Amino acid sequence: MESGMTAAEQRRILIVDDNPAIHDDFRKILAPPKSNDELDALESSLFGDSRPKPSAETYVLESAYQGQEALEMVRRSIEESNRYALAFVDMRMPPGWDGMETIEKIWQVDPDIQIVLCTAYSDYSWDEINRRFGSADRLLILKKPYDTIEVCQLASALSKKWHLARHAHLKLNQLKGMVAEQTRQLQKTNEELLLEVRRHAEAENRYRLAETGANDGLWDWDLVEGSVYFSPRWKDMLGYAEDQIGSSPDEWFNRVHPEDIAALKTACDEHFSGASEQLRGECRLLHQDGQYRWMLYRGVAIKDEQGRVVRAAGSFTDITERKMAEEQLRFEALHDTLTGLANRVKLSDRIGDAICRLKRDPNRRFAVMFLDLDRFKVINDSLGHLIGDKFLVEIARRLSGFIRAGDELVQTSRDDVARLGGDEFVLVLDNVVRDTDVLHVAQRLHDAVAEPVVIDGHTLHSAVSIGIAIAHQGYNNVTEILRDADTALYQAKAAGRSCTRIFDPDMHQKAMAQWRTESELRAAIDNQELRVFYQPVVTSTGALVSIEALVRWQHPNRGLLDPDQFLPVAEESDLIVRIGRWVALEACRQVRIWQTKFPRHKNLPVSVNTSSKQFALPGFIDEISQILARAGLAPQSLRLEITETVAMRDAHATVQTLLRLRAMGVLIDVDDFGTGYSSLSYLHRMPINALKIDRSFVGSIFEDKVSAHIVQAITLLAHSLQVDVVAEGVETIPLFSAVRTMGCDYFQGYCIARPMSAADMEIYLGDVKAADPAEIRRNSLPGESSSAA
């Protein structure tokens, strides 16, 4: 310890004595000059070697000659942290403080300093000293005269004691410091721990709260143990109580819908391998009630240092309602709301796929069937939309039932039946091998629809027209094949009820031509390309009874077109109504001019053909009277021709219309008689002036006995009904004679005159004689004046 002592730590001793000689004595004893070997030798010869070698310890001696001075030095030593270990204090130090007072003062400043009180006389008794300072162990008394050894021992022992005490004190302080520091650290750690515990508790609380409050079921999968914690809510979401579900992963995975298991496993693999940041996906889980519920699963995996997944945790959210709503929306987007069948969008997808397949594999032919109910409009109009809707639903049911029943000829699936709106349905038939197979299917569809439907007490009969397009590799898109099926349907409908037509390319050409004609015809009316030709109707003596107005189209490129080249197209649209109006007005005006121009023809009537569409118009009668007014023609000069088919279609309504026309004074002729099915009971109630026997019968009376009989029968019938008979298509003189013999009243045909332009007709009128009113026997109803004509 001593050996490690530095110079600054050399023990400092303070000598306090008023006598300077004493100071020298102390110095001699405690701090003798170095390397004075002679003196040492002398000393040892004098005192022997019993004296401890003072050189073993080194002291720094300082001197104070008065108590006050000593006190000052002690104070400074403390300030400079260079304390005295020991002070030798003289008892008597006039004129200042004596030793006792000095010691008292010094100890007040430095209580650790060791003191040796040096006294010659017994100034104070030991008891007195003890009383004054207490039984302190820091004061010893040295009696004068000094014994050198005693001084050395005192200096050595007391300074060592001071040093030890001080060292112990320092150590203690150091230890105290360490303890305090450690206590502080512990406290800090403790506080942190407490904080952490509180945070944990809060987190735990929050978690519990979240777990109970949240709608989500939680899971925590220990992959090392192979067990899963499922939260009560997780179990509840699947209809189970807390204790009904264990902790095996199978509780989860065995409930996953077979179709979703692969995706779930992939999602797990991807996340566990680090390919995805989160485990996330949707799957169906089997509920206790046997139904599947849609779940959104989310989770994260925790890995150990080796990167192995040791744990994964996450949640389940029940998204069944959202899924169902989505599904509903998706369904509605692709299906017809009324019948639940596929809609146009879905159908297009379906056909688009089939076209793609066909492109790859030419053997995978398919067919598209367009169905249109023949009498739906009648049902809807007469019984109302509610029944109409129910009827459509029933037809849809039959069609999809038909599909579901399967077919050995062609393949179909659920979405192969679509409704395109109204009464239009479409079927897709897959894997068509022979075209005839498709026709067989069509026949069975006809049968299925033909079964009467009973709705709210009404027994409804319907039929369906079917147009078929059989796909070939030439089709590039859905529109093309639908267009062709539609064209075939159009043909089927034109052919009559319950017909089926398969599309062929000619049909398309024809349809295109028709479409062109229609658009050109629309323009033709405005461009005044229509003409009216006239053909005379004469008596057996050749006198003119009336003229029939017949439309022609002066086409800019195709020349003069006959009605059969454009009227069928016009019939399909409302163009026929516009054409009819125009011809009627034109003919009435023209005849009015001729009546004035040729006085003998002043009552000449004009026959105007009336289409079924025109006749069905609610304002038809008003229209006729307006035309007559505008042309300035008497109603008796207009003969309206309606075909037998039109007259009989809605015979009851026809009777009403005809009666009103007749009341106006207009004459009515039934055209093309013999080609339709007339009801005699209605025929005799209709105010008819003449029946025109269709030229197909008239023209074949020589070759066909039946035709001859028909002409004969019609003539007899007409006459019995007090109605005139006109023979159409009288092409030759022998024919003329024959039908005249059969009793026909009037004659129209090429052997009399061909239809001619207005200019030609005018020349004709100049030559021909007018029929004598007496010759016109039955152009008025019984009771009416025959002078009307």
**Binding status of residue 644 toward Mg ion by CB under 5 A:** no
Partner whose binding site includes residue 750, from ligand C2E, Mg ion, none (CB under 5 to 8 Å by kind): ligand C2E
State in angstroms the smallest separation of the CB of 770 from Mg ion. 21
Q: Among 641, 644, 724, 745, which residue interacts with Mg ion (rule: CB under 5 A)?
A: 641
Which is nearest to 235 in space by CA: 253, 218, 256, 260? Answer: 218
Are the beta carbons of 357 and 350 closer than 8 angstroms?
no
**Binding status of residue 674 toward ligand C2E by CB under 6 A:** no
Write the CB contacts of 514 (distance below 8 Å, at least 6 apart in sequence).
568, 569, 572
Binding mask 554-593 for Mg ion (x = CB under 5 A): ----------------------------------------
Q: What gap in Å lies between CA 647 and CA 727, rounded to an integer?
A: 19
Write the CB contacts of 7 (distance below 8 Å, at least 6 apart in sequence).
none
State in angstroms the smallest separation of the CB of 581 from Mg ion. 17
Quote the distance between the C-alpha of residue 731 and its chain's center.
72
Question: 17 or 671, CB closer to Mg ion?
Answer: 671
**Binding status of residue 729 toward ligand C2E by CB under 6 A:** yes
Q: Among 644, 671, 724, 745, which residue interacts with Mg ion (rule: CB under 5 A)?
A: 671
The identity of residue 575, as a single letter, is L
State in angstroms the smallest separation of the CB of 704 from ligand C2E. 16
Q: Among 394, 484, 671, 724, which residue interacts with ligand C2E (rule: CB under 6 A)?
A: 671
Instruction: List binders of Mg ion among 586-625 (CB under 5 A).
Output: 609
Question: 520 or 641, CB closer to Mg ion?
Answer: 641
Write the CB contacts of 767 (distance below 8 Å, at least 6 apart in sequence).
none
DSSP 605-625: -EEEE--HHHHH-TTHHHHHH
State in angstroms the smallest separation of the CB of 691 from ligand C2E. 12
Which token pair is 203? 């987190």
Are the beta carbons of 314 and 297 closer than 8 angstroms?
yes
State in angstroms the smallest separation of the CB of 558 from Mg ion. 23
**Binding status of residue 750 toward ligand C2E by CB under 6 A:** yes
Which is nearest to 614 in space by CA: 571, 672, 648? Answer: 571
Q: What gap in Å lies between CA 225 and CA 527, rounded to an integer?
A: 92
**Binding status of residue 550 toward ligand C2E by CB under 6 A:** yes
Are the beta carbons of 745 and 726 closer than 8 angstroms?
yes
Question: 426 or 640, CB closer to ligand C2E?
Answer: 640
Question: 27 or 578, CB closer to ligand C2E?
Answer: 578
How many of the chain's residues bind ligand C2E (CB under 6 A)? 25
> Exposure of 297 by Cβ count < 10 A (0-12 exposed, 13-18 middle, 19+ buried)?
buried
Question: 231 or 689, CB closer to ligand C2E?
Answer: 689
Q: What gap in Å lies between CA 61 and CA 151, rounded to an integer?
A: 13
Question: 87 or 537, CB closer to Mg ion?
Answer: 537
**Binding status of residue 676 toward ligand C2E by CB under 6 A:** no
State in angstroms the smallest separation of the CB of 588 from ligand C2E. 12
Q: What gap in Å lies between CA 577 and CA 152, rounded to an integer?
A: 154
DSSP 239-306: T--GGGS-S-THHHHTTB-TTTHHHHHHHHHHHHTTSSSSEEEEEEEE-TTS-EEEEEEEEEEEE-TT
State in angstroms the smallest separation of the CB of 591 from ligand C2E. 14
Q: What are phi and psi of 198, to 5 degrees?
A: -65, -45
Are the beta carbons of 729 and 755 closer than 8 angstroms?
no
Are the beta carbons of 394 and 371 closer than 8 angstroms?
no
Are the beta carbons of 432 and 438 closer than 8 angstroms?
yes
State in angstroms the smallest separation of the CB of 634 from ligand C2E. 21
**Binding status of residue 54 toward ligand C2E by CB under 6 A:** no
Which is nearest to 82 in space by CA: 6, 169, 4? Answer: 6
Partner whose binding site includes residue 535, from ligand C2E, Mg ion, none (CB under 5 to 8 Å by kind): ligand C2E
Q: Is 229 helix (H, G, I), strand (E, B) or coil?
A: strand
Identify the DSSP state of 335: B
Q: Among 231, 380, 609, 654, which residue interacts with ligand C2E (rule: CB under 6 A)?
A: 609
Q: How far is CA 670 from CA 217, 326, 647, in A?
A: 83, 62, 8
Q: What gap in Å lies between CA 460 and CA 453, rounded to an integer?
A: 5
Question: What secondary structure, in 3-state letters, does 387-442 show?
Answer: HHHHHHHHHHHHHHHHHHCCCCCCECCHHHEEEEECCEEEEEEECCCCHHHHHHHH
Instruction: List binders of ligand C2E among 483-502 (CB under 6 A).
Output: none
Partner whose binding site includes residue 669, from Mg ion, ligand C2E, none (CB under 5 to 8 Å by kind): none
**Binding status of residue 482 toward ligand C2E by CB under 6 A:** no
The identity of residue 55, as a single letter, is S
Q: Among 372, 672, 724, 745, which residue interacts with ligand C2E (rule: CB under 6 A)?
A: 672
Instruction: List binders of ligand C2E among 554-583 (CB under 6 A).
Output: 562-564, 567, 580, 583
Q: What gap in Å lies between CA 89 and CA 102, rounded to an integer?
A: 8
State in angstroms the smallest separation of the CB of 641 from ligand C2E. 6
Question: 448 or 751, CB closer to ligand C2E?
Answer: 751
Sole window of 6-14, 268-276, 486-494, 726-734 interacting with ligand C2E (rule: CB under 6 A) = 726-734
State in angstroms the smallest separation of the CB of 742 from ligand C2E. 17
Sole window of 154-162, 342-350, 381-389, 604-612 interacting with ligand C2E (rule: CB under 6 A) = 604-612
State in angstroms the smallest separation of the CB of 625 from ligand C2E. 19
Are the beta carbons of 547 and 534 closer than 8 angstroms?
yes
Write the CB contacts of 774 (distance below 8 Å, at least 6 apart in sequence).
none
Binding mask 504-543 for ligand C2E (x = CB under 6 A): -------------------------------x--------
Partner whose binding site includes residue 583, from Mg ion, ligand C2E, none (CB under 5 to 8 Å by kind): ligand C2E
Question: 466 or 570, CB closer to ligand C2E?
Answer: 570
For residue 98, how many other CB atoms are within 10 A of its CB?
A: 17
Which token pair is 270? 């991807």
Partner whose binding site includes residue 611, from ligand C2E, Mg ion, none (CB under 5 to 8 Å by kind): ligand C2E
State in angstroms the smallest separation of the CB of 733 from Mg ion. 21
Which is nearest to 139 in space by CA: 96, 185, 107, 163? Answer: 107
Question: 116 or 521, CB closer to ligand C2E?
Answer: 521
Q: Among 611, 637, 715, 779, which residue interacts with ligand C2E (rule: CB under 6 A)?
A: 611
Question: 423 or 671, CB closer to Mg ion?
Answer: 671
Q: Among 415, 731, 760, 775, which residue interacts with ligand C2E (rule: CB under 6 A)?
A: 731
β-pairing, 453-455 vs 638-643, is unpaired
State in angstroms the smallest separation of the CB of 465 from ligand C2E. 24
**Binding status of residue 672 toward Mg ion by CB under 5 A:** yes
Q: Which helix (H) or strand (E) holds 314?
A: strand 309-318
**Binding status of residue 669 toward Mg ion by CB under 5 A:** no
Sole window of 6-14, 38-46, 367-375, 671-679 interacting with Mg ion (rule: CB under 5 A) = 671-679
State in angstroms the smallest separation of the CB of 606 from ligand C2E. 11
Question: 142 or 752, CB closer to ligand C2E?
Answer: 752
Binding mask 686-725 for ligand C2E (x = CB under 6 A): ---------x------------------------------
Q: Site residues (CB under 6 A) for ligand C2E?
A: 535, 549-551, 562-564, 567, 580, 583, 609-611, 641, 671-672, 695, 728-731, 748-750, 755
Binding residues for Mg ion, rule: CB under 5 A, are 609, 641, 671-672
